[in-house]
Homo-oligomer: A and B are copies of this chain.
Amino acid sequence: MTTEYQDLSIPERVLLGPGPSNIPPSVSNAMSQNMLGHLDPVFLTIMEEVQEMLRSVFMTENRFTIPISGTGSAGMESALVNTIEKGDHVLICVNGVFGTRMCDIVERCGGILKRIDAEWGKPIDTDFVRQTLEDFPARIVAIVHAETSTGVLQPLEEISQIVHERGALFIVDAVTSLAGTELKIDDWDVDVCYSGTQKCLSCPPGLAPVTFSQRAIEKLRERKGSVQSWYLDMTMLEKYWGPERVYHHTAPISMIYALRESLRLVLEEGLQARWERHRKYHNELVSGLEKLGLSMLVEEKYRTPMLNSVIIPETADDVSVRQQLLKEYNIEVGSGLGPLKGKIWRIGLMGHSCTRENVEVVLHALKNLL
């Protein structure tokens, strides 16, 4: 091998896409602290702190609340693969990429899948869920809280009630919503929730916080067969994260340091204040976009504050605008996915990236480019 590789030199981007968001300096610093063994008493204390803080951020008392050693998608897979047994009836609500992905995983788990769809950019209709559950004996119902592919924020409380009246488990994808908008696992009676670190937590991607209610744990205990994934098997993971500390796999130590610091920052700011910050700059962004003559994909009351999908005007070229944003302004925004490809830009205001300065910077750049 004769190629010479240079030292890394990474430009300073303003990350206003669908995630990752920018990382606060103290999170980077935490991540590069001294390495520890995964059973070191100092690390075990850090694990406990991370669990405590995750419970606070998820607003839950669930004992079983941990970061999975993979990205948000591993969190999704862990939620489904642990709860679904072959032959279980599973209802998935689909109005974007991530609902679609859940359907794919359900089939890989041998679940009997029923999906209900809403148009991409619209929320799932609560009555439709109610009606569907009258005929379909779901043991599990899953839905996305903040659809990163569309910018739709899904109301959850009424659906949760309907799901539980039918005796099913309620699984919520909060990859993009956690720490950026109201999410109350216990108050809303969510059984399994998973998230990612690179959105409103502003920690690098690589971990997936998950929380399992007692009801979900009971379903897990009643399984007839093993969980099909060894790596994501909660019956084993709980023995490493619980008092037994039974070795399962080597925890991603540095990433856990980073997560601890990002959670600490969330709690220092306060959940309520953080939600309000996201809502405030979202409002400022939308109002600025509208002043530029642009319109939003999603109806006002269903917009996620941290992910803003704006319709690309007919006069603009999707790719070249995004390339100019990146090259000339060092700003990343996201493209549309699936049926929305070429039709929307996705402007993220997540965690540390959610500031007035960034709102102004992206509005200024768009004004120049359009």
Contacts and interface: CB of A to CB of B under 8 A. Distances in A.
Interface of A: 1, 3, 5, 7-8, 10-13, 15, 17, 19-23, 26, 28-38, 40-42, 46, 49, 52-53, 56, 69-74, 76-77, 81, 101, 104-105, 107-109, 196, 198, 204-206, 226-232, 247-255, 257-258, 260-261, 264, 267, 326, 332, 337
B38 A205 contact: yes
B251 A3 contact: no
Given A69-B70, A205-B252, A230-B104, A36 B8 contact: no
Given A34-B10, A35-B22, A108 B205 contact: no
Most buried by B among A46, A198, A247: A198
Contact of A17 (B26, B37, B230): B37
B252 A5 contact: no
A108 to B, nearest CB: 5
Contacts of A70: 69-70, 74, 231
Contacts of A252: 71, 204-206, 255
A13 B34 contact: yes
A35 B71 CA distance: 15
Given A74-B231, A260-B8, A23 B35 contact: yes
A115 to B, nearest CB: 16
Given A10-B34, A71-B250, 11 more contacts: A1-B56, A13-B40, A17-B37, A20-B36, A20-B37, A32-B32, A40-B332, A69-B71, A104-B230, A108-B227, A206-B252
Contacts of A49: 5
16 contacts: A1-B267, A3-B52, A5-B260, A11-B36, A13-B37, A13-B40, A15-B35, A23-B35, A37-B332, A40-B326, A40-B332, A71-B249, A105-B230, A204-B253, A206-B255, A228-B228
